[in-house]
Structure formats: structure tokens, C-alpha cells
Structure 1
Amino acid sequence: MEELKNYLNHISVLGEETFNILQNYFEPIELKKHEFFIKEDSYAKQIGFLQKGIVRAFFVNNEGKEYNKQFFVGPSIIGAYSSLLTNQPNKIAQQALTDCQILVADFKKVEALYDKHHDLERLGRKIAEYYFLEKEQKELEMGLLDADKRYELMREKFPSIERIIPQYYIASYLGISPTQLSRIRKKLSQP
């Protein structure tokens, strides 16, 4: 739980009493490679703290093509936030790309602590703000930057991911084809 405490305190400091209560809501689980944290069209109930591993958030269009929206590399917070907030079916699946160690908690139980523990409520707001800013940044990158620059930024953000997950996931995340990704990688590797 110390890793969870350090991660959360890096975002917004929690009082000892708050963390001692909060940690009782989390239980460890393991996801094997290719298992889902949450599937499309299911109702989200849990949030997770990804301690180790890589999870992808993706959706499938009407033609059956997958689009990787985000990668989560531990340590990170995961969960179907829109579904948690709206009580509507989830549209963006989250799937383990490696074996993962995760601490999970019932979101509604954690949220119920907000009225009494304002430091936890502030933490929840800061996490939401972070993911909003991250989403906006990705949208700007997709709209304003060429594929070479998006690839370079992805490598900065996820430095070791290329050696771990299939290239077609990375290409989908960048909004390009695997062939385009191969060309970019070849071009950037030349002196």
C-alpha cells in the first residue's frame, strides 16, 4: 500500500487518517495478459491502481477496427471513468497488454468518503483534471502534429513500451498504419 500512498500523495497530499481509511477499500488482483479490467458495454464499478504492467484503453468502430485511445503504464490510475460517473455502459474497454498487478476499490464506496474527507475529494478532482488535460493534449497532438512528431512524443511518454507491446497497438494509438510506423522508425533510426 506504500506505493499507492506515495503515488496519490504525489498528486495531492492525503492526511494519515484519510489514507488509513482509504487503503481498507483496496484489494489486490492480478490480470493476465489479454484479460480485461473492463469490457465494452459493461457497467463500471471499480477504480484501479495499476502497480505493475501495461493496460490499453481502446474502442472498436462499426467496421470492427480497433482504436487504441490510451496506454496506462504502472504506476497509474485506471478505470472506466465516464461509466463510473454516468452509470451508463462503458464504451472504452481496458485490457492488459502484459501481466498486471492492480489494487482495486469500489468507486461508489470511495466516492462516499468525499463528504467527510475533503482531502480525498480534492485528490479525485485533481485526478479528473489530469485526465482531462491529457485527453485535450492527445487531441491537439492528433490534430496539429505530423505522425513523426506524435511518434517521438509517444516514445518520450512511454520510453520502454515499444519493446513490450505489438507495433500495431502503437500504430493505432498514433492514428497511423503499421506500415507508416515502420517507415517512421526506419527514418528516425538513420543518422
Structure 2
Amino acid sequence: MEELAGIFDNLGLDKTCFETFVKLARTKTLKRQEHWITEGNVCRFIGFVVSGTLRSYVQNADGEFNNDFYLENNFVSAYTSFLTQMPTNCNIQALTEAQILYITYEQLATLTSEDIRFVKLGKYISDHFFIRKCKRETSFLKHTAAERFEMVKVLYPEIEQRVSQYHIASYLGIKPQSLSRIKLLTYVKK
């Protein structure tokens, strides 16, 4: 919660804005493996991960493919669905027990229409998701799997202790065996 208060402070939103947000927000605790949203549903929330680890993934005939992770102090949402209020094509699942503080689409719309200062928060959230998406797309176009792995460790500190190698490999777009080789080569170079 302290991190979230810090975000408000950095945006120049005073304590009353933070208190208004927290008063509206609800808390949801997810059990390990429980889904926060599933494909085909409309995402009606924007959340802030208070504790735990979640993953976002898409599914097709070939299997599941991770496209994001959410750790403490990150916003979590199927954001395209949230913005368009159309069904999502992804799933968000807790990898550990997780606690999320969230507000609904309608609540955020009300906040921004009643107090222009909350537009800053909306922009911050939008920028957050946009930048993450751009970094991931660019990494696939410019970097090797080994370089992407190093970037993941920076983007998601302690990811290796919190998420299985299988899920990390899926996020990197490689097989778990390839990730094992990358880790071995990295260890040998050191």
C-alpha cells in the first residue's frame, strides 16, 4: 500500500486523492492457481498487486503462452479489454496466493469525471501498460533469448525464485530446455 501511496505522491495527487481511491477500492484474495479473469470475459477492473505473483497468458491449440507477469506493486488488468469493455483474449491467473486492491471501470470513470486530478492516475496506468507492451515486443525483434532472459530478471526481480522455469521459458518464447542451456552458459561465463 505504501508503494501505491508513493505513486499518488509522485503524480502530485494529494493524500485526499489517495484516501478517496482506497475508500472506493475493494480487496480480492486469490488462491494459488485461481483465475482473476478468463478469456471471453470483459475486464471490468484495474488492480494493484499488494502481494503475490500472477501471470497473464493466451491459449491456442498448441498450448498456453505467457505474455506478462504481475508482482507486488504492479498494476494488473487485461488492459485492452478494460479500455474497450470488450471480451479479453487472455487469462490472468495467480501463481501464488495473491492480494489485489482494485477499482472498477465505472469507478475510475467517475473519479476522472468528478476530479480532473484523477486523469493523471489514468494516464500513469495507461503509460505503464503501454511501455511494458512496447518493451516486450521490441525485445522479441531485437534481442536473443539469452538477452531477453537477462532483461526479464531486471524487469521482474526475483522472478526465478517466484515463477517456475516452465513459465519463464514460455514468456521468453522458448522451450524450458533452451532456458536451462541459457542459464548453464551464463553460469559458465561467470
Q: Which interval holds the TM-score relative to the shorter structure?
A: over 0.9
Question: 1:64-79 maps to which residues of 2 (within 5 A)?
Answer: 64-79=62-77
After TM superposition, the runs of 4+ consecutive aligned structure 1 residues lying more than 6 A away are none
CA distance in 2, matches of 1:3, 1:144: 32
CA distance in 1, matches of 2:183, 2:120: 41
Partner of 2:104: 106
SS at match of 2:41: coil
Partner of 2:187: 189
Partner of 1:117: 115
Identity %: 32
CA distance in 2, matches of 1:146, 1:115: 45
Partner of 1:57: 56
CA distance in 2, matches of 1:13, 1:36: 34
Question: 1:15-30 maps to which residues of 2 (within 5 A)?
Answer: 15-30=14-29
- The answer to whether the 8 Å contact 2:8/2:14 transfers is no
Where does the alignment leave 5 or more consecutive residues of structure 2 unmatched?
Answer: none
CA distance in 1, matches of 2:19, 2:99: 21
- The answer to whether the 8 Å contact 1:67/1:172 transfers is yes
Which one-letter code corresponds to 2:4 in the other structure? L
- The answer to whether the 8 Å contact 2:79/2:129 transfers is no
Pairwise CA distance, 1:133: 1.7
Q: Does 1:37 align with 2:29?
A: no
Structure 1 residues 77-133: Cα deviation after superposition (integer angstroms, max 9, x where no partner): 111211111121111111111111111222211221112222211111122112212
Which one-letter code corresponds to 2:136 in the other structure? K
Partner of 2:152: 154
- The answer to whether the 8 Å contact 1:25/1:106 transfers is no
CA distance in 2, matches of 1:7, 1:37: 23
Pairwise CA distance, 1:43: 1.3
Alignment partner of 2:88 out of 87, 90, 107: 90
CA distance in 2, matches of 1:53, 1:133: 22
Q: Give me the TM-score of the superposition, normalised by structure 1.
A: 0.92
- The 1:89–1:128 alpha-carbon spacing in structure 2 relative to 1, beyond 3 Å, is same
Which one-letter code corresponds to 2:88 in the other structure? N
Partner of 1:5: 5
Q: Give me the TM-score of the superposition, normalised by structure 2.
A: 0.93
CA distance in 1, matches of 2:160, 2:2: 29
SS at match of 2:111: coil
- The 1:2–1:66 alpha-carbon spacing in structure 2 relative to 1, beyond 3 Å, is same
